[in-house]
A and B are shown apart, each in its own frame.
Chain A
Amino acid sequence: MNYFLEGIHNLLSSRLRSLLALTGILIGTCSVVAMMLGGKLATEAALSQFQTLGTDLLEVSILSSSEKNTAKNTRQLTPKDIDGIMRINPMILTTAPYTLSYPMLRFQGHRLQGNVLGVTADFSALMKTRQMSGRFISPHDDHAFYCVIGAGLAEKIRNFSLESPSGHFIQAGHVLFKIIGVLQPWPENIFLPVNLDNAILIPVETALITDHSAGLRNLVVKVRPDASVTATGKWLEHALQERLPERRIFVRSPEELITRIRKQSDILTVFLGLTGGITLLVGGIGIMNIMLVSVLERKREIGIRRAVGATGRDIRNLFLAEAVLLSLLGGIPGIVLGLLAGRVFALYWQWPFHFFLLPPLAGFTVATLTGILAGLYPAVRAARLTPVTALRAD
């Protein structure tokens, strides 16, 4: 007995009603798929900024301890101090200490918003900056008054000066710096507390002598590919703390952040999926309703089928097949629509779009399950009708 073929036959004979029932499932499946996919895409977008920099990095913050330590009793750290510590551990590949300060920026008398980073040459490789023009800070710049500016600042300067900023001077606080290079736009990254697009980058030595507020408080550390990032992070925290007992050391690894974000987003995805699931539940109730009406209307048919030899199971399967068909006819276009909706989300929020198997698979599974569950009760009711009561119906 081909229940599905008969099911199609029956569904086609009450088109409007079938259409209404499957619309419920369509919307439900669509929202399950779209919500789950949206959650996944948002997570990936959040994680992609880590992945662009690589997961073999550690970020270290060196803060003064809670007691008021002025420059008098705590010596300023220098890049050489840091270098000395780092050299002990062979697992550390590169270290890029940097300073951060917020002096007033001026270019040809125009005020600009931005920050000043004192960096070493290695900073460029670790933060994956690329030059639009000129060059980056080099080890030979030492105490020079040179700077590299971010793409955003360069754009603003070009807007009012109508010429390339390279070769001109920019004023940071009371000091003038010659612009020797412009960076390409840099995707913002929570690994760095500032956006390089709005920053001017100067040699770290220069930063330490020109601005006393700019202490060496941050480092980015690249670990050897075969080393454990977590273990190196622990060592680093310990080693720095031992040498700098008067400060507080914080080490963050992207890996740790990624796991945390993943965990949170998994919960988010489940909740979004559940929200979609509620819509699907409503769709399922719609199917159950339609199937119950159908059983009532087709009592006579059930009686005839029983009289010519259909078993209870034959009748149950007939109705179950119709319910499952309905949910698949709604579910499959729902999955397609849900994927499209995910694509639209990605376009709107400018997330990179990836295809994930889980949302459509989950959509398909829950749509089928909804069909079975919603169809089961009406189908069993139909199967339990005795032939004589079914035949007596008018």
Chain B
Amino acid sequence: MSLLIRLDNIEKHYPGTVLNAAVLQGITLSIHKGENIAVTGPSGSGKSTLMNILGLLDQPSAGHYHLLGEKISGLTADELAFRRNRTLGFVFQSFFLLPRLNAIENVMLPLLYRRIKKSIARERACELLDQTGMQQWSHHTPDQLSGGQQQRVAIARALSGKPDIILADEPTGALDSENSQKIIDLLFELNRTQQTTLVVISHDPAVYSRFSRIIQLRDGKILP
């Protein structure tokens, strides 16, 4: 299995906070292609910060992060945007769809930022909505969709760039248990059929217990 991500002694401080409190310290971990990983821990344990760092949305204060063998510290904001667009797919707790765009336009967005032709992007978005069971809703705006449906659109958007890794931050946090199961089923199916690496943050035992690897965080450290 090829190595996708390697974190070495990652630390994150927020300067200006009390005692310059460390949110993450000494985080060392490797993620390989095709893995499915759950990150869990009580609130305030640093799960979301870890996710932001993994997702190139935030920079660590210290330590090394290698993505696909490339050291990411020192990359410019635009270079990071480029890698987010090609390598990573995000699924958020509150879906984060653009309210003014309909489902298919939301799914097309990452492709358009890749400067892919609109017609091709639309075709690809259609396929993905089909795959996530949302094709008949493709022209609905987010406010016309239920939470579960919105999350399916968000997953389709995360997949549109054919990413190596999907990072999901509490993807079922805003859903009822039935929809939660369906969303996790969908993610597992993608993991199984397309070898998409899955990193999911969750503090719900019904969710994280299904993953083959569980990383437990407490006070910014990984529990052994």
Residues of A participating in the B interface, judged by any CB pair closer than 8 Å? 1, 9-10, 13, 300-301, 303-314, 386-388, 391
Contact = CB atoms under 8 A, between A and B. Distances in A.
Contacts of A301: 98
Interface in B76-122: 77-78, 81-82, 84-86, 90, 92, 96-98, 100, 109-110, 112-115
A274 to B, nearest CB: 39
B81 A304 contact: no
Contact of A308 (B78, B100, B113, B115): B113
Interface string B28-68: 00000000000000000000000010010110000000000
B100 A1 contact: no
Contacts of A386: 57-58, 77
Q: Size class of B's contact patch?
A: 20 to 34
Given A309-B113, A386-B57, A388-B58, 11 more contacts: A13-B100, A304-B96, A306-B57, A307-B57, A308-B110, A309-B84, A311-B82, A387-B57, A391-B57, A391-B92, A391-B96
Across the A-B interface, the 5 shortest Cβ-Cβ residue pairs: A309-B85, A309-B113, A308-B110, A388-B58, A387-B57
B58 to A, nearest CB: 4
Contacts of B96: 300, 303-304, 307, 391
B100 A309 contact: no
B115 A1 contact: yes
A5 to B, nearest CB: 10
**What does DSSP make chain A's interface, helix, strand, loop or mixed?**
helix
Contact of A306 (B81, B92, B100): B81
Interface of B: 52, 55, 57-58, 77-78, 81-82, 84-86, 90, 92, 96-98, 100, 109-110, 112-115, 157, 161
A314 to B, nearest CB: 6
B90 A307 contact: yes
A309 B55 CA distance: 11
A306 B96 CA distance: 12
B49 to A, nearest CB: 9
B52 A304 contact: no
Contact of A307 (B55, B78, B112, B115): B55
- Which of B81, B82, B85 has the most chain A CB within a 10 Å cutoff? B81
A351 to B, nearest CB: 49
6 contacts: A1-B112, A301-B98, A303-B96, A304-B96, A308-B84, A308-B113
Contacts of B92: 391
Given A1-B112, A301-B98, A308 B82 contact: no
Contacts of A310: 81, 113
Contacts of B58: 386-388
A304 B110 CA distance: 10
B57 A311 contact: no
B135 to A, nearest CB: 21
A46 B45 CA distance: 81
A300 B95 CA distance: 12
Contacts of A300: 96
B161 A309 contact: yes
A18 to B, nearest CB: 14
A308 B57 contact: no
A391 B84 CA distance: 15
Contacts of A9: 100
- Which of A10, A301, A303, A309 has the most chain B CB within a 10 Å cutoff? A309
A307 B84 contact: yes
Nearest to B87: A309
Contacts of A304: 96-98
A9 B99 CA distance: 12
Nearest to B167: A307
Contacts of B113: 1, 305, 308-311, 314
Nearest to B109: A308
Contacts of A391: 57, 92, 96
A63 B143 CA distance: 89
A387 B52 CA distance: 9
Contacts of B85: 308-309
Nearest to B78: A311
Contacts of A314: 113
Contacts of B84: 306-309, 387
B72 to A, nearest CB: 14
A322 to B, nearest CB: 12
Contact of B78 (A1, A303, A313): A313
A388 B100 contact: no
